[in-house]
Chain A
Amino acid sequence: MRPPSPSIPEKEFLNSALKQNLRIDGRAPLDMRTPVFIFGPELGWVDCSLGKTRVIAYVDAKMVKPTPERPFEGMITIHSELSPMASSEYETGRPSEEEVTITRMLDKIIKRSDALDKESLCILAGQRVWHIRLSLHFLADAGNMVDCACLAGIVALRHFRRPEVEVIGDDEVIVHSPLERAPMPLAIHHSPFCFTFAFFADPETPPILDPTQLEQRLSAGLMSIALNAQKEICVLQKLGGVPQDTEEVLRLVKVAVAQAKELSNTVDAKLTADWETRKVEVR
């Protein structure tokens, strides 16, 4: 289904404003919206918003039998579905092109980059492993859902605590409830954050970071970079759109590197602050 295109006055206003380095919501071209996190009462539940874009991420863990090809590794599945609640363009059931892009990006950023250590999820080799399920619900689309979803997913995984298990002998597994023993955090190697830049057809218009919905629709190309605070690029996607010089691509990578560092500190601070509020009695 084709989305209704923006009106001509909107298009012209946006293009002329961007030419003068002005964005409609008042941000600088390379300014990101400040992420707001609301942590749920349960561990592993996060509501992340970037401006008006809202995504809820929820993590839960189940004990299952591992696949025969990999008996020492746990499993992680990401479930995300775009419903018309996010925007009237999306239909349930049939994945639109944008939905395919988002789910594939999340898959690459969180699963393929090995952010989560799967071997640490093994309880009893060949018999019992943890199956971590990350569910993402897109509540509102005000542009740049990929970045918001990725952020929500990573923060939820870091927020989540799995129950502690004790293995006795060769086949006895005791799962301790969170009331008996403090639950354990997941082993996360690195936290990738995603940054999306939008390009415009006019060569004098600079690329912008974290586009709103209107900017995204009127853009002539998007580039998403997922990297961690250790300056490693996990995913870089510039799928078509206005051709760019490699120098420009590399300049934006540097911008993303700086943003990743900042974001990493913000996320760390928010997670620590939330953890303080949860009473953990040590007896």
Chain B
Amino acid sequence: MGSRIEILNEAGFRSDGRRQFELRDLTIDLSKHGEADGSALISHGLTQVLVSAHGPREAKMRSHTFHDRANINVEVVVASFSTGERRKRQRGDKRVLEFAATIKSTFEPVIRTNLYPRSQIDIYVQVLQQDGSTLQTCINAATLALMNAGIPMTDFVCAVTGGVHSTSPMLDLSTLEENDIPHVTVAVMPKTKKVVLVTMETRLHVDRFEEILNLARDAGAILHQEMKEAILARSATLVALAEPVTKNQNKGDDDVVMD
């Protein structure tokens, strides 16, 4: 211990072996989880988040309903074992509340809430493992969970983090990189290429910021491809299972494999 880890070495490799603009391994699992209308378990590298979406359904508290649209309720739970050191979060922890408010305001313009007046759409986020870019993973997972639940949206919301190490921009940051370099999380709607969410908490010069903002926006489009494929694959599986059994009469094996 003691050797300094280089964020980006001369050969152009980052501390985990990736190249500058390389995104981490993305795994998407859209199988049914509990009683949720839709759920998604996704991981960007080692950051893993599970989101379940419920709704639209009758609101639990009448006072929180709107007469002309659905109310979106987001609750975030960060598991105490999600980080390297076990840390229990308080219920009213301002950081977690802010996290939930951020996710809620990201989806407010995207979900077609005006189709379901006086209803509630619940998004429950469980952060299982954190290795940087937690907000990015939560937003992507929430998009997929909402799609899985069949809640109408105007477009995907794809989020990506970007950072700048002296003058070199990078994408999809891990914890090590997030702690060291200024970074921004950008959520983009791929059809129009407009950004819904931009959040940056670390100091960065305006010129560097311009670079990384545009880069992150373009990276969102790449994630869109992956997410779209996952949704289509899932839909294809469900459609195939909905086919009447008579079609497969010739096959001896009647077992249905749900995955």
Contact = CB atoms under 8 A, between A and B. Distances in A.
B197 A238 contact: yes
The CB with the most chain A CB atoms within 10 A, among B105, B192, B197, is that of: B105
B106 interface: yes
A95 B95 CA distance: 13
Interface in B199-251: 199-207, 209-210, 213-214, 217
Contacts of A142: none
Nearest to A112: B201
Contacts of A243: 109, 189, 192, 194-196
Contact of B197 (A108, A233, A239): A239
Interface in B74-96: 92, 94-95
A250 B210 CA distance: 7
A113 interface: yes
Nearest to B63: A2
Interface string B19-43: 0000000000000000000000000
Contacts of B204: 232-233
B109 A231 contact: no
Contacts, number: 101
B21 to A, nearest CB: 17
A3 interface: no
Interface size grouping (class) on chain B = 35 or more
Given A97-B101, A100-B97, A104-B98, A240 B107 contact: yes
Contacts of B209: 233, 236, 253
B200 A236 contact: yes
The CB with the most chain B CB atoms within 10 A, among A233, A241, A244, A253, is that of: A233
B189 to A, nearest CB: 5
Interface residues of A, number: 36
Contacts of B108: 240-241
Nearest to B102: A239
Contacts of B97: 95, 100
Given A2-B63, A97-B101, A232-B204, A246 B199 contact: no
Contacts of B197: 238-240
A103 interface: yes
Contacts of A95: 92, 94, 97
Interface string A225-265: 00100011111111111111110011001100100000000
A228 B161 CA distance: 23
The CB with the most chain A CB atoms within 10 A, among B193, B210, B217, is that of: B210
B184 interface: yes
B69 interface: no
A104 B95 contact: yes
The CB with the most chain A CB atoms within 10 A, among B194, B202, B203, is that of: B203
Given A227-B206, A240-B107, A246-B217, A233 B200 contact: yes
Contact of B203 (A234, A239, A241, A249): A234
B206 A233 contact: yes
A246 B193 CA distance: 8
A186 interface: no
B200 A241 contact: no
A161 B202 CA distance: 27
B14 interface: no
A165 B106 CA distance: 49
Given A232-B205, A238-B198, A241-B109, 13 more contacts: A2-B63, A95-B94, A103-B94, A231-B206, A233-B209, A235-B200, A236-B199, A239-B105, A239-B199, A241-B108, A243-B195, A246-B193, A253-B209
Interface of A: 2, 95, 97, 100-101, 103-104, 108, 112-114, 220-221, 223, 227, 231-246, 249-250, 253-254, 257
- Of all A-B residue pairs in the complex, the 7 with the closest CB atoms, nearest first, are A240-B105, A243-B194, A238-B198, A236-B200, A239-B105, A240-B106, A104-B98
27 contacts: A2-B63, A2-B64, A100-B98, A100-B101, A104-B98, A112-B202, A113-B203, A227-B206, A232-B204, A232-B205, A233-B200, A233-B205, A233-B206, A236-B199, A236-B200, A237-B199, A237-B200, A240-B106, A240-B108, A241-B108, A244-B194, A244-B195, A245-B195, A250-B210, A253-B209, A254-B206, A257-B206
